[in-house]
Amino acid sequence: MSKEKTMIGWNEWVQLPQLGLPLIKAKIDTGARTSALHAFDIETFKRRGVSWVRFKIHPLQRNNKLSIQCEAPVIDRRLVTDSGGKAEKRLVIDTLAHIAGVTRRIEITLTNREKMVFRMLLGRQAISKFDFLVNPAQTAILQKIKPSLALDIYKNKNNLVIPTPPILINKGSK
């Protein structure tokens, strides 16, 4: 008998703990193969002979005042074509993503998404690792967080554990 899949909306809150991002609202994009994360001031460097990247991110929507610096090993450089048909060579990182009590290792490309509403896209490759079903008619099914609370979480991120709701099983959802 197959296990029922967790239903997610077309956008959800994601935690990227290895990047020091306690939450970021991601657009769940089944049309995108790879995941993408907003990044600026991108610089590559070597650490013990391994390529790394250091970048900054504005993790909250409509808030360019909050800026977080992140570092991660670079696992690849890939040519990615965006929804407008423009090809761009992007750095690729591998990091843990946490959604609704489930943690998976995913690949994320870095690109400037400053003009986009969502600072992160969760693409098909990552969605399939979580084994979620996407309901395009619903938003933030798993966790609703007000912008003021999101900002408070960042202000107190060293002293705060973000409550994660239990995995929700949506019986009879289509």
Q: Does some domain include residue 41? A: yes
118: number of Cβ within 10 Å: 17
Indicate the pTM of the whole model: 0.84
Number of domains making up the chain: 1
Per-residue confidence (pLDDT) for residue 160, from 0 to 100: 42
Distance CA 56, CA 119 (A): 12
Q: Does some domain include residue 102? A: yes
Q: Does some domain include residue 161? A: no
pLDDT per position as a tens digit, 6-55: 899 999 999 999 999 999 999 999 989 999 999 999 999 999 999 999 99
Q: Does some domain include residue 169? A: no
Per-residue confidence (pLDDT) for residue 44, from 0 to 100: 97
Q: Using only C-alpha atoms, what is the Rg of the chain?
A: 16
Q: Does some domain include residue 2? A: no
Per-residue confidence (pLDDT) for residue 163, from 0 to 100: 45
Helix or strand holding residue 4 (H, E): none
CATH number at residue 78: 2.40.70.10
pLDDT per position as a tens digit, 54-80: 999 999 988 888 899 999 999 999 998
Torsion angle, alpha carbons of 173, 1, 13, 112, to 10: -110
Per-residue confidence (pLDDT) for residue 55, from 0 to 100: 96
Q: Does some domain include residue 112? A: yes
Q: Does some domain include residue 1? A: no
Range of the domain at 121: 14-155
Per-residue confidence (pLDDT) for residue 153, from 0 to 100: 84
Mean pLDDT of all residues belonging to the chain: 86
Q: Does some domain include residue 173? A: no
Mean pLDDT of the region 120-138: 92
